[in-house]
Amino acid sequence: MATSAPPYPIAGGDGAPRPNVATGDRRLPAVRDYEQVTREITSVLRPTVAWFIGLSIAILFMLTGAGAWMYQIHEGLGVAGYHPPVMWAVYIVSFVFWVGIGHAGTLISAILYLFRAGFRTTIYRCAEVMTVFAVMTAGLFPVLHLGRPWKFFWLIPYPHWRWIWPQFKSPLVWDVFAILTYLTVSATFLYIGLLPDLAVLRDHDTNPVRKKIFATLSLGWRNSDREWRHFARAYLFLAALATPLVLSVHSVVSFDFAMANTPGWHATIFPPYFVAGAIFSGIGMVFTIIIPLRKWFGFKHYVTLNDLDASAKLCLFTSMVVGCAYLTEFYIGWYSGNRIEHEFWWNRVFGQWWWAAWIMLICNMVLPLSLFSQKLRRNTTWLFILSLFINLGMWFERFVIIVPSLSHEFEPWQWAGYQATWVDFAILCGSFGWFFMWFLLFVKQLPILAISEVKEIVPPKRRQMIAAASVGVGGGD
């Protein structure tokens, strides 16, 4: 993956756009026509040996996590590393982590769509798929962290003959709403965007069963002008609907902490801080996924260095927002004049938890500063490595928020430490297995690049070329 393009294009050379200018009229110089788009994007849908190996590994991880969960249900939560008063730990950390991962997808697919940011075109499908699966993964954790997970439905307001409702003052109930809403909207958004692509698959697939499935899923898409008009409107409305969710869902998640009185949690900065962190972590995950994908699937001429460059700038920006939030938190901790806050912050950054805090600060605040260098922004190896650091750092950000705060609260007699057990790690690994299992299944069934949107930026065909083409009249063409 050590592909590194020259930082500046030769001035006025082949007419390529300047790399550091994100522009609406994107061009993919190596993509000549619609047929090439369809051919290349659908060609990767055939399963390969490497894919099977990857899927097996993911399923193995998932099964490990599932086994650990079964063990935990049978034995009790004590097999996880909880150390009162640290009553929330790896599971809630992972919950917030995965919800955060989801946010970049919606940001890229919805907000950047509304802003007409061209570099989004080639990465948005990947990000959106990541969103849905990340939210699906995140949704597992609030259930599996329960003492009695088989009673999870008590958090859902359903009519009950005893008139027992959830406590609507509890942020955990808000979480239920936020996560379910987010899952619904992002899944719908993904599906609507898939419609024209499903029609392409229907037209090109030879397997009658798959053809039938794609035909059903594409809702009879005929590529008519009316359909396109409605599609565009629907997509726009859904983008508008999804946009506030980017802000609200992680704000609600942050309320789990901000609404509590725990030092380190009880801060008004949390909603914006969490949203920025979520987007930052999501972009990190997008890099983690898209950089190997574009290499393995040969999509380097679709997901260009320009796209990555522009995304890296977004990453840098959110990193600085997050860093600003960190510093603000430290400052307010000092400025509060509250001795309990002082001691807590000292303990978090220089005391018991210094290692976690510095992993967070270095990964999220210091390392992304390298993206000021265009050379590094266009160095996919560095971007990939950096993205792993960002994932690590963002997981630790949530760890640093949750565990040190709980371990160093008001009551000194109940100050404690925390050490995760193998069950925690198995379930954490299981969540990655679960996520990548779905993702890998997706990439071999459905196009990971949006065929229809890529075609929008490929130069349209002239009539004579259509006439000359031997390709049949495809619905999506």
Binding-site ranges for other proteins (CB under 8 A)? 75-79, 81-85, 87-88, 142, 145-149, 151-152, 154-155, 164-167, 169-173, 176, 256, 259-262, 339-340, 343, 406, 409-416, 421
Residue 88 or 302: which CB sits closer to other proteins?
88
Which residues are registered as beta bridge partners of 86?
A: 83
CA atoms in the 13 A half-sphere facing the CB of 256 = 22
Find the shortest distance in angstroms from Cβ 415 to other proteins.
4
Amino acid 157 reads P
Smallest distance, Å, CB 252 to other proteins? 13
How far apart are CB 240 and other proteins at their closest, in Å? 31
Q: How far apart are CA 252 and CA 176, in angstroms?
A: 10
- CA dist., res. 332 & res. 347, Å (int): 15
Cα–Cα dist 317/19, whole Å: 17
- Give the nearest distance from C-beta 333 to other proteins in angstroms: 16
Output 8 or 410, the one with its CB closest to other proteins: 410
Q: What minimum distance in Å lies between the beta carbon of 339 and other proteins?
A: 6
Helix (H, G, I), strand (E, B) or coil at 83: strand
C-beta of 475: minimal distance to other proteins in Å? 47
Instruction: Please name the residues in contact with 87: beta carbons below 8 A apart, sequence gap of 6 or more.
Output: 406
Answer yes or no: are the C-beta atoms of 119 and 307 closer than 8 Å: yes
Residue closer to other proteins by CB (options 116, 151) is: 151
- CB of residue 138 to other proteins, shortest distance in Å: 16
CA dihedral 96, 98, 101, 105 (to 10 degrees): -120
Angle, helix 339-349 to helix 305-335, in steps of 10 degrees: 140
Q: Peptide bond before 412: cis, by omega within 30 degrees of 0?
A: no
Q: For the chain, how are helix, strand and coil distributed in percent, rounded to 5?
A: 70, 0, 30
- Give the residue with the Cβ less far from other proteins, 165 or 228: 165
- Cβ-based nearer residue to other proteins, 83 or 211: 83
Nearer to other proteins, 59 or 143 (CB): 143
Residue 395 parent element (H or E):
helix 380-407
- Closer Cβ to other proteins, 143 or 469, answer by number: 143
Cβ atoms of residues 284 and 387 within 8 Å: yes
Nearer to other proteins, 84 or 292 (CB): 84
With the CA atoms of 55, 56, 59 and 63 taken in that order, what torsion angle do they form, in degrees rounded to the nearest 10?
A: -170
Q: How far is the CB of 422 from other proteins (least distance, A)?
A: 9
DSSP state of 86: B
Residue closer to other proteins, measured from CB, 248 or 421:
421
Q: Provide the minimum distance between the beta carbon of 84 and other proteins in the complex, in angstroms, as a whole number.
A: 5
What the block records as the tokens of 213 is 């499935």
Which residue number, 173 or 320, has a Cβ lying nearer to other proteins? 173
Nearer to other proteins by Cβ, of 17 and 171: the residue is: 171
Block residue for tokens 């958090």: 155
The DSSP result for 365-388, as a single string, is IIGGGGGGSHHHHTBHHHHHHHHH
Sign of CA dihedral 404, 436, 270, 84: negative
Nearer to other proteins, 13 or 168 (CB): 168
Do residues 64 and 426 make contact, with C-beta atoms less than 8 angstroms apart?
yes
Give the residue from 128, 136, 148 showing the smallest Cα distance to 179: 136
Distance CA 107, CA 120 (A): 10
Minimum separation from the CB atom of position 259 to other proteins (A) = 7
Shortest Å, Cβ 349 to other proteins: 17
Minimum distance of other proteins from residue 137's CB (angstroms) = 19
**3-state secondary structure (DSSP) of residue 4:** strand
